[in-house]
Amino acid sequence: MKIYIRNMACESCKVVLRDALIKLNIQPVKIELGEAEIKGDLTDAKKQKLDALINKVGLQIVENKGEILIEKVKHYCKEYVISEKLIKVNISEYLSHKLDKDYNYLSNLFSEVESCTIVHYINLLKVEKAKEMILFEDYNFSEIAAMLNFNNLSAFSTQFKKITGYNPTHFKKLKNKRRLTVQELTKKKQ
């Protein structure tokens, strides 16, 4: 049986989910970002207990087909941002191919549910990755812009300021540097 999980963003989320499943004596077969395959079925009681356990870290079981599709879109957007230099098609072709759905349908559904466009969501992901790189790595802004596939430093700086309210240099100097969790990206007022 497959279980779909909202807000899974990294390996730590997989570990949390695996631990919660094991704690409830549910045997995981495979855990990926956004979904887990388990042996057997999941009773309503165990589903509620699992949801309560993973909710503590911002994860949530998703059952609605539209929400499941949105989580898959988010997953492939993250994959696209990470591998954009290797992927030779634009995001619309990429998502249509991966999900075997018309991009206009995906885009409209995503915008309706998340209150932002897929392209804006990709930019949010890129800026959060840029914040991480600014805070924890020794790259200059031009290198970060290139690694995140912005056309140039100016485009990167413009997008960064549009989303954070700060230019990259000012952000680097801030004492209270704030990064957003993946869960907060589309919940923040745009």
Bridge partners, 3 (sequence order): 36
Beta strands in the chain (DSSP E): 2-6, 28-32, 35-38, 60-62
Per-residue model confidence as pLDDT tens digits over 36-57: 999 988 889 999 999 999 999 9
Indicate the fold that domain 2-63 takes in CATH. Answer: Alpha-Beta Plaits (3.30.70)
- Taking the whole predicted model, whether its pTM rises above 0.85 is answered as no
pLDDT of residue 86: 78
CB 91 within 8 A of CB 119: yes
3-state SS assignment for residue 6: strand
CATH architecture of 120-177: Orthogonal Bundle (1.10)
pLDDT of residue 177: 64
In the chain, what are the helix, strand and coil shares in percent, each to the nearest 5? 60, 10, 30
Q: What mean pLDDT, rounded, does the chain reach?
A: 89
Of the candidates 81, 76, 112, 123, the one whose C-alpha atom is nearest the C-alpha of residue 96 is 76
